[in-house]
A and B are shown apart, each in its own frame.
Chain A
Amino acid sequence: MTQKVNTTTDSGRAQEGRNNDSDIVVSVSELSLAYPSSDEVIVSCDTLRIPNGEVTALIGPNGSGKSTLLKALSNHLRPREGTVHVDGRTVREYDQKEFARTLGRLSQENESPGDLSVEDLVYHGRYPYRGFFDGISDKDEAAVERAIDLAGVEHLREDSVGDLSGGQKQLAWMAMVLAQDTDILLLDEPTTFLDLNHQLQVMETVRRLNQERAITVIVVLHDIAQAARHADHLLVLEDGEIFDRGHPEEVVTESLLAEVFEVDAAVQYEPELRIHPQQSLSGPE
């Protein structure tokens, strides 16, 4: 564990040289992503390696392809070219339920019947473990209890999902994904519509998961400061290509903010990484 942290902190470029497959849990090669209805390639990326047991944040401006990349990693979008490997196998080789036991994904917006209780929602997370005729096993129950506890929604258990606030809803859905009990977790902008308190709750849950259960987390984040604070590893996307990767302190620089995000900002590294945005660089033309 410590050894790995050392290598990653060195430099983002060090990632390229690392070929130890046991450290890499999700990888892509020669990937080219486009939506079936159009020819436009949204993401193209030669190689991408997500280190095992770390929190990797995907950041980038709107439309840079973060969510699209996440869709391909979670097998929701078939790549036009290239392959995605999860745990050493291509995603196509997995049986669907088996894949859902390996990798969980929480999408940006979720819908459910309004009268569904939080507890029942979380139980749906056990779908990939249950056969067609199976009832609920003790294992399912234990996983659900743990998920409810981890996401901190114990007090909401009996409430209807439709009555929850946006933040509580997100935590309830997070609990459902946690009940899937996967080693890899993909989160698509889990904090975007939440108030500060719930943003922190979500990110703290992510942290706790990663530390206590060694779960690899790939999270798309809108907020660079948040990404820098909570992730071990940043991946910056611009126009569908990986612009930079590495440890937050090396990646988040004033020039990156200017070049990729088109903002003039001051970055402060001590005592901790802080970003002070000054003004937009792409004003009205």
Chain B
Amino acid sequence: MSELSVRNQISERFTYDWISPSLITVILGSIGVLSVATLAQVSFGTYQLTLAEAWRTVLDPNVLFSVRAWETFLLGRSLPKEFSRQTLVVWNIRLPRILVGVLVGANLAVSGAIFQAITRNELASPYILGISQGAGLVIIVVLMFFPAMASVLPILASAGGAVAFVLVYAIAWKDGASPVRLVLAGVIVGTVFGSIQSGLFFFIDDLATVMSARTWMAGSLIGKDWEQVRLALPFTALALGLALLISRQLNVLLLGEDTAKSLGMSIEKVRFGASAIGILCASAAIAVAGLVGFVGLIVPHMVRNLVGSDYKPLLIGCVFVGPALLVGADVGARLALNPTQLPVGVITGLVGGPYFLYLMRQKTNLGEI
């Protein structure tokens, strides 16, 4: 067990080596975007606040440091009576929506980054690999037929995503699963699952349910509150923590199957474990916000361009850029056509599509990491 005894002598150079100026810039930039978006979201809307009022309410020490208030938010206790209307609008309607956006953005970005490492393909994302559609199908079925089970939706959705991914893996498997075969199988499985989803809509009689299902398919943060925060937070914390733990394994995977095997990695085991984490991330996001497209594809890409391909800073960058992008997009979704609110997935699609086209034209070897 000499490995244990030397663990304390970790060389300083490597422990903090990945904290580069570019990563710090990315983090600060994301926090900046997030703050501006938060202020915009908090102050504008049907109940208008000035920026100063918004600031004051968000930083209100009576809420910020009140145990009672946080019990309400995080444990679901009834609202304290002393909350003013302003506090209620900000803290009970607008802020939780932002928080859900933060969780969803971080989850989707990290999930995309993980799947890009597993497949060694920059085009991979939970959508491409069929996971989103698998999770989505389960969510629709649960919401339609078993609404009582909604509290464990991320777990059920993960199961659906996992089934889809296992299916994809099985189809792609031929002496190991090559990245190209994985992506192709993912598209096939995703299409089939997506068709079943669309088919199910025809069995919904209630028009309101159809509308909400459609919103859900587009991916939306409309009407999200603390309940969704409570639902997604534990899974997010777990999944993101695990993702950071496996960053070195992902780095070795990037060296290619051959090399990883020569280095003694149990490739299928690592791929499967990493997939499980990626599925959990994606499912936690999909369970609360529906199918928000392009975030999982584009955020890892942007971060990789900025901080490089080392997965430790990459994943950390994703945890910041994902929320910034999603919450920023949600400002547009909510306020652009005020009073009509758009699903945020519409905005991420409109922004993400062109960005991706731009990338396609810029790079000759798109796809390879």
Q: For residue B3, which residues in chain A have a CB less than 8 angstroms away from its CB? A: 129-131, 134, 137
| Complex Cα–Cα for A110 and B263 (A) | 13
Instruction: Indicate whether A41 reaches chain B with its CB closer than 8 angstroms.
Output: no
Instruction: Indicate whether A5 reaches chain B with its CB closer than 8 angstroms.
Output: no
Asked if residues A100 and B262 are in contact (CB atoms below 8 Å), the reply is yes
Instruction: Indicate whether A120 reaches chain B with its CB closer than 8 angstroms.
Output: yes
Q: List 13 A-B contacts (CB under 8 A).
A: A37-B174, A98-B264, A99-B264, A100-B264, A111-B368, A124-B251, A124-B263, A132-B245, A133-B245, A136-B11, A137-B7, A137-B9, A180-B263
Asked if residues A135 and B14 are in contact (CB atoms below 8 Å), the reply is yes
Given contacts A36-B175, A128-B263, A138-B11, A110 and B6 within 8 Å (CB-CB): no
A-B pairs, 4 with minimum CB distance: A100-B264, A135-B10, A137-B6, A97-B264
- Number of A-B residue pairs, CB cutoff 8 Å, is 90
Which of B3, B262, B369 is the most central at the interface, judged by chain A CB atoms within 10 Å of its CB?
Answer: B262
Which B residues between 246 and 271 are near A, CB-CB below 8 angstroms?
Answer: 248, 251-252, 254-256, 258-259, 261-266
Closest to B263 in A: A127
Q: How far is the CB of B365 from chain A (nearest CB, A)?
A: 10
Partner-binding segment picked from A14-22, A101-109, A214-222, A236-244: A101-109
Q: Give the number of residues in B that approach A within 8 Å (Cβ atoms).
A: 32
Q: For residue B369, which residues in chain A have a CB less than 8 angstroms away from its CB? A: 113
Instruction: Indicate whether B46 reaches chain A with its CB closer than 8 angstroms.
Output: no
Asked if residues A135 and B15 are in contact (CB atoms below 8 Å), the reply is yes
Given contacts A129-B3, A135-B14, A137-B3, A107 and B263 within 8 Å (CB-CB): no
| Complex Cα–Cα for A128 and B255 (A) | 14
| Complex Cα–Cα for A106 and B251 (A) | 18
Q: Which of B14, B245, B264 contacts A96 (CB 8 A)?
A: B264
Q: For residue A139, which residues in chain B have a CB less than 8 angstroms away from its CB? A: 2, 6
Q: For residue A116, which residues in chain B have a CB less than 8 angstroms away from its CB? A: 254, 309-310
Instruction: Indicate whether B308 reaches chain A with its CB closer than 8 angstroms.
Output: yes
| Complex Cα–Cα for A124 and B249 (A) | 10
| Complex Cα–Cα for A63 and B244 (A) | 44
Closest to A108 in B: B258
Q: How far is the CB of A102 from chain B (nearest CB, A)?
A: 10
Which A residues between 110 and 156 are near B, CB-CB below 8 angstroms?
Answer: 110-116, 120-121, 123-125, 127-139, 141
Q: For residue B252, which residues in chain A have a CB less than 8 angstroms away from its CB? A: 124, 127
Q: For residue B9, which residues in chain A have a CB less than 8 angstroms away from its CB? A: 137-138
| Complex Cα–Cα for A135 and B11 (A) | 8
